[in-house]
Amino acid sequence: MSDATDEAADATGDTEDKQRGPLDGLTVVEAGSMISAGTVGRFLADFGAEVIKVEHPKTGDHLRQFGPQKEGTGLWWKYLGRNKKSVTLDISTEEGQVVFEDLVSEADALIENFRPGTLERWNLGYDHLSELNPDLVMLRLTGFGQTGPYSERPGFGTLAEAMSGFAYLNGYPDKEPLLPPTGLADGIAAMFSTFAIMFALYNRDANGGSGQYIDTSLIEPIFSLIGPQPLRYQQLDEIEKRSGNRSTSSAPRNVYQTSDGRAVAISASAQPIAMRVFDAIERPELKDDPRFEDNEKRLENVEELDAIIQDWMDDHTREEVIDRFEEYEATIAPIYNVADIMEDEHYQARDALVEIEDDQLGEGLVQNTFPRFSETPGEITHLGPQLGAHNEEVYGEHLSYDEETLVDLRSEGVI
């Protein structure tokens, strides 16, 4: 864990004109809700973009009420709302639509994840917004995309994890498919969407292009990461089945229990690594055993191989196992929970966690910005702000609305 202020000063030399990150000067309007759109905004905000988070005046982002809470403060919101400026705005009203147009007219990018057709009903579709701001890059992130027979369906990450093929592959062969315990499809879609925005901005700024809209979904990004499954089905007429913690491509690869009731993961996807595993478990003779001499044979005899490795694990603690494997440069890792991560010396040395002062939580511990930049590092200035915390700054200073206008918008429930 590290102190955010000290880290920022160390990384930048504490210069007066330091940038917050490589996206300093970029203005983004985030009109999305929940995890996927919020993660896109978080990535951009972490590296210096001014991200203006537009929320409904009464409810705010549903993420504020989602998941674990501390005295009514949503921890998902604190994490994904970090570095953003929160403004309230009812976009469904005519007055709100005018304000939204003003915001987007000043922006480089817009992130939205309304159901297809929603913004068009409010006269805020891409065709209209691009007339106001031809340089606008508009990210449209939905469950199933803007086109196709499922486009009108409500979409959540769980549905994408189910329909992408991921859940079918995840779990044990004799049990039902397993969904991930967190927003995996949302996070993957957010990564694809973030670099899509940056691709579009590069085309606009470096190649003399214009703004454009980007159609992304939750289902296609995670589908693209399940490997050559379509190719395998087409060429070999094979549908890969669930294999638990084993791999259908290499062996040994599994989770093993140590004598102290803990667990480790081993992956030996290259022949030299598998040979080192045999040395590490004090069974060098297995290198010449015809059952295990190459990857194909090891896969054919994986039950016997796993039993041999587990028998050795039964006599050693996790610490002993890891020390032994490191001695022989055989790949291994402990199975960690979040408490283990916080205590791990490598995470600490890398400042992977950072404590941020917060007016509601006191001090909040979150994952640090990543990746790391040598010259323009990211920085966390604050966790998710309270609803509408930046109304005065954004509407009064950024858009130059006078006080009378702000009073009228408040009294009408627009902000």
Q: List pLDDT tens digits, range 104-138.
A: 999 999 999 999 999 999 999 999 999 999 999 99
Residue 414's CB is within 10 A of a number of other CB atoms, namely: 21
Domain ranges across the chain: 2-225+361-411, 253-343
* Residue 5 confidence (pLDDT): 42
Using 50, 70 and 90 to split pLDDT, how confident is the model at 14?
very low
Distance CA 153, CA 161 (A): 15
Separation CA 176–CA 170 (nearest Å): 9
Distances from the Cα of 46 to the Cαs of 34, 51, 167, 341, 407, in angstroms? Answer: 18, 10, 31, 22, 32
Task: Return the amino acid letter for 105.
Answer: S
Nearest to 216 by CA among 277, 163, 156, 140: 140
What confidence category does residue 20 fall into, taking pLDDT thresholds of 50, 70 and 90? Answer: low
User: What is the model's pLDDT at position 16?
Assistant: 41
The catalytic residue positions are 186
Indicate if the alpha-carbon torsion angle 412, 390, 51, 338 is positive or negative.
Answer: negative
Give the CATH class of 253-343. Answer: alpha beta
Examine the pLDDT at 9 and tell me if it is beyond 50: no
pLDDT tens across 260-271, in order?
Answer: 999 999 999 999
How far is 216 from 105, CA to CA, in rounded Å?
22
Q: What is the pTM of this model?
A: 0.92
Residue-wise pLDDT tens digits, 310-319: 999 999 999 9
Instruction: Inform me whether the pLDDT recorded for 231 exceeds 80.
Output: yes
**What confidence category does residue 330 fall into, taking pLDDT thresholds of 50, 70 and 90?**
very high
CATH number attached to the domain at 2-225+361-411 = 3.40.50.10540
What's the rounded Cα separation, in Å, for the pair 140 and 124?
12
Q: Would you state the pLDDT for residue 83?
A: 98
pLDDT, residue 19, reads: 55
Q: Where are the beta strands (DSSP E) in 209-352?
A: 212-217, 253-257, 263-267, 332-334
The answer, yes or no, to whether residue 211 has pLDDT greater than 50, is yes
- CA distance linking residue 39 with residue 370, whole number of Å: 13
Q: Which amino acid is at 117?
A: G
Q: Which residues pair with 290 in a beta bridge?
A: none
